A and B are shown apart, each in its own frame.
Chain A
Amino acid sequence: MLRNAKKEALIALVLVAPFAAIYGLAFIYPTIQMFLLSFTDAPLIGQGDYVGVENYARLPGDRRFQTALWNTGYFVVLSVIPGTFVALAIALAVDRLKGRFQSLVLALFFLPYILPVSVVYLIWDWTLNFQFGIAMHLFDLLGIQRVPIFKSTAWFMPAVALVTVWWTCGFSILLFLAGLRAIPAEIYEAAALDNAGRWTTFRRVTWPLIWPVTALVLTIQLILQLKIFDQVYLFSTGGRPNDNLVLVYYIFQRAFQSDQGGRAAAIAVVLFVMVVIVSVFNFQLVRMSRGRAQ
C-alpha cells in the first residue's frame, strides 16, 4: 500500500498539536520551572536570586520537614497495608456472590470512592464528632474515654488513615475483582476434584495467582498516599496543622502561607523524586501482571 509519508506526518502533527500545546504549557514547563525554582530564594510569585543547593541543605535540619516526612511515612504504613488487605478480603467476599446481588453489595462498598474528599470529610467529621457523633456511642460501649479525635495528635493520623481506607478501598476492590475474574475456573474445578478445602484453595490457588495484583495495588496505594494532602488539610482545620504536617501540606505551607517559593520547590523536588522511584517500580509490576494474564 502506498503511503505518502510527508502528508501522514503533517496530519499527525495537526492531531498531536492540541495535546502537545496543553502538555508543554501545563506540564513540561511547570516541571522544569519547579527544578529551577528550587535553586533560588524566590517568593511564590516573582524573581529570586540563585542560592545553589541551600534550600536542599536546610532540609535535613528542618524540624517541620522532619515532621512532614515522618508523618507521610507513618500515614503510608497506616493506610497502604491495611487498606490493601481489607480490599482483598472484601473482593474475595464479593467475588463469591452472584448477579444483581453482587453488583448491589459491590456498589455499597464502592460508593465512598466516588465521593469528593470534602464530602467524605463532612461525613466523618460528623460521624466522629466529639459531642454528637454516632461513632462516640461505640466508644462509650467499649468503655473508651471520648476524645476530640482530630484535635488529638495521637489519634489524628490513625483516624485520617481509617477514613482514607474507607474512602479509597473501592478502587483497590475493583482491581482485585478484575484479578480474581482472570483466574480460570478450571483451576478451581481441579482443586475441588482434589477435595481441597476453602483455605487450601485460597492458599494454593488464589493467593499465588492474585499476588501480582496485590503487589500492584500496594504500589498504586503507596504512590497515592505519598501525595496525601486533602484529608489532612481538611481534618486539621481548627486543630494542630503543624503537628499533622505531611509533605504536600508542607509544600503548601511554605509556598502559600510563608511565600517562600524556592524553599517550597525544594521540598516538591524531594517528593517528586520519591514518587518517580516508586512509580518506576510500579510500572515494572504492571508489565509483570500483564505478562501473567496473557
Chain B
Amino acid sequence: MTALPAQGIAPLQRIQRLNVAGAILSILTVVAAVIWAFPIYWAVVTSLKPENETVRAAVELWPETLTFEHYRFALFETQIGNWYLNSLGTAFGTMILTVSSSLLCGYAISQLRFPLRQPLWWLILASFMVPTQTLIINHFELVANLGLLNTWAGIILPQLIHPVVIIVYKQFFDGVPKEFREAAVMDNASEWRILTRVYIPMNWGVTTALCIVTFIWSWNAFLWPFLAVTRTEEMTITVGITQVNDAFGVYYARQLSAAVLAGLPVALAYLIFQRRVTQAITLSAGIKG
C-alpha cells in the first residue's frame, strides 16, 4: 500500500492469485474424489484377478492376469441368477405398486374435494416420520399369517410404505395451472381423462424420477428381505451375497465379483439417469428441486 500505481494493478494481481488458488482447490477436489471412489475401483479390480493375485503383499492397481472366471462362477455355479430374478421382480413390483397407488392418491388429495381429505393428508405427513424398522416384528407376524414368507409378495408388502412419493405428487399436481383443468372440464372430459391426458403427461419427469428411486430403494433394501426370506433360492441379491457363505467361501475375488454384479444395476441406473436420480433424492428430503 505505498504508491498510487500499485492500486491500479492490484485487482489484476488479485485475479491471478485467486486463479492459482482456485486451480489448486480444483485439483485437490479431483484428487479427493478419486480417493473417495477408490474402494469401489479396488473391489472391481480385485474381482478381475485370479485368487492368488488378490493375496499378494504388493499393491497392484491392475491385474497381472485379467480373468472373468469369478463372474462365470458367480453367474453359473451359484444361485445368483435366482437372486437377480427375485431382486428384479420385487423391485419392479414395489416400484409399480408404490408409484401407481401414490399417483392416484396424490391426485385425489390435490385435485378433488372429498370427506376426510384433510385427515388423510395429515396421516400421510405423519407417517413420513415413522421408522418402519420398528415395525419388523409386526410385519413379520402379518406376512407370516398371510402365508407370504419366502414369496415376492411378502418381500414387497412392507416396502410399499413410501409416503414421500404421495407428498411429491401432491406438490407437483398442485403446481399444474388451474386453467388446464377448467378447459378440460368445459370439454366434458371425465376425471380419468383429465388425469391421464393432462396431469400425468405434464409430470412425466417426476414420475420417471420417482420410479427410478423407488426401484433403487427396493433393490437396495436389506433388513426386511433378510427377515422375510429363509430359503436361499427365494433370497434377493443383497441378502444372498452376504448370507450364503458356502456359495463363495473365503475366495475374496469371487465374493467381490458377486458384489459387483449386485451393485451394477443400480450404479448403471444412476449413471444413465443421473439428473433424475438427483432430482428425486432432493425431492424426497423435502427440498423442491
Contacts and interface: CB of A to CB of B under 8 A. Distances in A.
B128 A279 contact: yes
Contacts of A8: 112-114, 191
Contact of B267 (A9, A115, A252, A293): A115
B259 interface: yes
B97 interface: yes
B36 A108 contact: yes
How big is the A interface, by class?
35 or more
Contacts of A252: 136, 227
Interface string A228-264: 0110001001000000000010011001100001001
A57 interface: no
A267 B79 CA distance: 36
Contacts of A271: 131, 133-134
Contacts of B33: 105, 108-109
A5 interface: yes
Given A109-B33, A174-B282, A229-B223, A116 B130 contact: no
A19 B166 contact: yes
B198 interface: no
A107 interface: yes
A33 B138 CA distance: 7
B104 A19 contact: yes
B114 A30 contact: no
Interface in B113-155: 113-115, 117, 120, 123, 125, 127-131, 133-142, 144-145
Given A276-B129, A279-B129, A34 B137 contact: yes
A261 B137 contact: yes
Contact of B130 (A1, A105, A220, A272): A272
Interface in A1-42: 1, 3, 5, 8-9, 11-13, 15-16, 18-20, 22-23, 25-27, 29-31, 33-34, 37
B81 interface: no
A286 B286 contact: yes
Interface of B: 18, 21-22, 25-26, 28-30, 32-34, 36-37, 39-40, 42-43, 46, 54-55, 59, 97, 100-102, 104-105, 107-109, 112-115, 117, 120, 123, 125, 127-131, 133-142, 144-145, 157-158, 160-161, 166, 182, 185, 191, 216, 219-220, 222-223, 227, 237-239, 241-242, 252, 255-256, 258-260, 262-263, 266-267, 269-271, 274, 277-278, 281-282, 285-289
Closest 8 CB pairs of A and B: A279-B129, A30-B138, A12-B114, A19-B105, A108-B33, A122-B259, A268-B134, A15-B108
Interface of A: 1, 3, 5, 8-9, 11-13, 15-16, 18-20, 22-23, 25-27, 29-31, 33-34, 37, 44-45, 90, 93-94, 96-97, 103, 105, 107-112, 114-119, 121-124, 126-127, 129, 131-132, 134, 137, 166, 171, 174-175, 178-179, 198, 213, 216, 220, 223, 226-227, 229-230, 234, 237, 248, 251-252, 255-256, 261, 264-265, 268-269, 271-272, 275-276, 279-280, 282-283, 286, 289-290, 293
